[in-house]
Structure 1
Amino acid sequence: MGCCCGKGNSAVGPLSNIKFTSLNGANSNKNIESSRFSKIGISTTNPLLLIKGYKNKPLLPLEEALKPFNGKIPHLDEQIKEAKSKCHYPSEHNLTHDESAAIYLYSMGGNENSVYNRLQKSWASNSRTQMKPWFKYLKLLKTGLNKLSNVEVEAWQGTFYDKNLEKTLTSNSLKLYTCMSPCSPSVQQAKNDIHGHANSKKILVGYRSVNGKDVTSYTVNNQKEIMIWPGIKLNRSKENEHDEHGSLIFHLTGRKNSRRKKVNQREKHFVCPTIYCHNYCRGGHALNHCYGFSHLSHQCSHHCGPISKCFLCRKHLPNLRECKQCHVVFCEECSTQ
């Protein structure tokens, strides 16, 4: 499967703030099936900027999703028919026929006019204009991938040694993001995919906590494969190593989005359970505080018991809220929106 990488050291597209690290291993069309992990799928700017809005597209059959490429990708109809006839369906993960075929189609390399190669070139162009026709297909592909479980193992890619790539991976001044990339759960397989002298110096990258999906059953050759979606911010690890041939081994870890958790907590606010009161918190405050409601905390249960009972569940609890308008007392579980 492709990544956001083109050929060369970096590529700047029409969106001037997008610059993708673009280092491919030694690939040829003849060996594209066996060289799936010889690209380093990282970007120095979030690739999701190129496909912003694809989630809003309707979920369509595979033929409709790829309709913008009719007459532009030779033998597209034959590729779609092959994918639908050979894909893993019915699926134990409840993928639809079209979702499974979308993953299978993306794994079909072998020539310049495959969907895999055409999509990879569009990513490498760094052009939102070139990516827009792919939005409906990406929506179908992502919907299918979402039904697969995340894998916990480290996912690997490799390429021949490149000084610029080493500089990118070690620089603390550059941000790193995942690109749409295939990886192997085996570091040895990633090494084997780098064609050339067995003892040549290489760069190997392992990804952890990037929500990788095991697509092994859904690809052309059933080779063990993990697919990573673009746009996950990466942390560099201090555990970088060298092997006996001087190859560099880097470990990158997906960052947890702690900001999203805080936003979800803020969405929970108190509403007075009294029918005719209509008092409610209007939000816009610090966590664990709601305007118009008093926090009653009484922990002296060993001596005098809880302060009161919840108006709704009637449980004696040490932490309750009181509506300042009608003075009803209730617990958090019974009256939050």
Structure 2
Amino acid sequence: MAKKYSDDDDSQHNHRFSDITGEPCRMLLPIQGYEKKPLVSLEDAVEPLVQFVPDIKRMAYVAKMKCDNPPADHLSKDESASIILYSMEWEPQEECLYYVLNAALRTENRRKLVPWFLYLKLVLTALSKLPPLQRTVYRGVKGDMRKYYTKGETVIWWGFSSCTTTMDVLENDQFLGATGTRTFFAIECMNGKDIQQHSQYKSEDEILLPPGRQFKVVACLNQSGGLYMIQLREIEPPYPLLEPVSKDVPKISTAVTVNPSSIIAPMDR
């Protein structure tokens, strides 16, 4: 049987950095509702996700076992493991947590986010404890994305965005390589989160941008050799597109058993 889980020595664990093509880039309803949920253990947070991510319980166990003890940055073990779980990749790609979660974040039907509320509460609480990073970060995708990014326009990325601190990582053969049609994004971020100490792949220097980030397209450049560069600058919208995590966060409960059928979605309007 082929190995399903991509560990540190496996080259096929970099799809997160190219998970851009599914972004609608346009305005959707804000991401909200998750912040009202209790903070629970990772095991309870993934319970409602079994129907969407079939192997999620086992992968959550792996993430928990991979946690440092104690975790860095004063995170709890459940909080750190929730970030590790996001960074993990396995086959098929379409069943990875990051892939399914980002697809839900990008859909116009916000009811599809309801089963994710407990996990979102946990992982966004964890990320809120990491200091915001203001610097230029990079991500990329094979193909020419210029038609979706016009200079001067504003775009929104609704999914979590995995970035790296150097372009060299993207040009590695395990990522996009140095030949062929490619689009690199250079992003001046204001709210990046350095998750290196909470990532499955620590060598990738991963900077994670939370969902609901708004950007101004600064420039679209032809770098020759099939490489295009799109420069983005993060801007603050007048109203939050991602509801902040509640400041009054209760302690993580390990005794709560969540029944997925008890999670009721709001009525469509």
CA distances 1:147-204 after superposition (whole Å, capped 9, x unpaired): 1122233111111233xx31221165x5301331101111121233675773212111
Q: CA deviation at 1:227?
A: 0.3
Match of 2:120 in 1: 138
Q: CA deviation at 1:37?
A: 1.5
CA distances 1:210-263 after superposition (whole Å, capped 9, x unpaired): 30101111111212101001212211214x433241421111111145789xxx
5+ residue gaps in structure 1?
A: 1-29, 261-337
Contact 2:154 2:217 in 1 (8 A): no
Q: TM-score, length-normalised on structure 2? A: 0.74
Distance in 2 between the 1:155 and 1:180 partners?
14
| Matches for 1:30-69 after TM superposition, within 5 Å | 32-40=12-20, 42-46=23-27, 49=29, 51-69=31-49
- Count of aligned pairs: 226
For the residue of structure 1 that corresponds to 2:79, the secondary structure is helix
CA distances 1:121-149 after superposition (whole Å, capped 9, x unpaired): 43354432221100110110001011112
Question: Higher RCO, 1 or 2 (CA under 8 Å, sep at least 6)?
Answer: 2
Q: Are residues 133 and 43 of structure 1, via their aligned partners in 2, closer, same or farther at CA, if it must alter by over 3 Å? A: same
5+ residue gaps in structure 2?
A: 1-9, 241-269
Regions of 4+ moved over 6 Å: none
Q: TM-score, length-normalised on structure 1? A: 0.60
Q: Are residues 168 and 74 of structure 1, via their aligned partners in 2, closer, same or farther at CA, if it must alter by over 3 Å? A: closer
Distance in 2 between the 1:45 and 1:210 partners?
20
Bigger radius of gyration among the two: 1
Supply the AA of the counterpart residue of 1:34.
Answer: N
Distance in 1 between the 2:146 and 2:80 partners?
36
Q: Are residues 193 and 146 of structure 1, via their aligned partners in 2, closer, same or farther at CA, if it must alter by over 3 Å? A: farther
For the residue of structure 2 that corresponds to 1:235, the secondary structure is strand
Contact 1:87 1:219 in 2 (8 A): no
| Matches for 1:35-184 after TM superposition, within 5 Å | 35-40=15-20, 42-46=23-27, 49=29, 51-70=31-50, 73-112=53-92, 113-162=95-144, 165-170=145-150, 172=152, 175-178=154-157, 179-184=159-164
For the residue of structure 2 that corresponds to 1:51, the secondary structure is coil
CA distances 1:285-333 after superposition (whole Å, capped 9, x unpaired): xxxxxxxxxxxxxxxxxxxxxxxxxxxxxxxxxxxxxxxxxxxxxxxxx
CA distances 1:22-58 after superposition (whole Å, capped 9, x unpaired): xxxxxxxx864133322337542245x3632111211
The sequence identity of aligned pairs, in percent, is: 28
